[in-house]
Amino acid sequence: MPIEITAQNFEQEVLRSDKPVLIDFWASWCGPCRMLSPVVDEIADEHPEIKVGKVNVDEQTELAIRFGVSGIPMLILFKDGKNIDSSMGVVPKSAIEKMIG
Catalytic choice (5, 22, 33, 75): 33
- Report the b/e string of 76-92 with b at 16+ CB within 10 A: bbbeeeeeeebbeeeee
Mark whether 34 is an active-site residue: no
Amino acid, single-letter form, for residue 14:
V
* Counts for the chain of helices (H) and strands (E), in that order: 4, 5
| Longest pairwise C-alpha distance within the chain | 33
Of 30, 88, 90, 91, which is the active-site residue? 30
Please indicate whether residue 30 is annotated as part of the active site.
yes
Three-state DSSP state, 71? coil
Active site amino acids: 30, 33
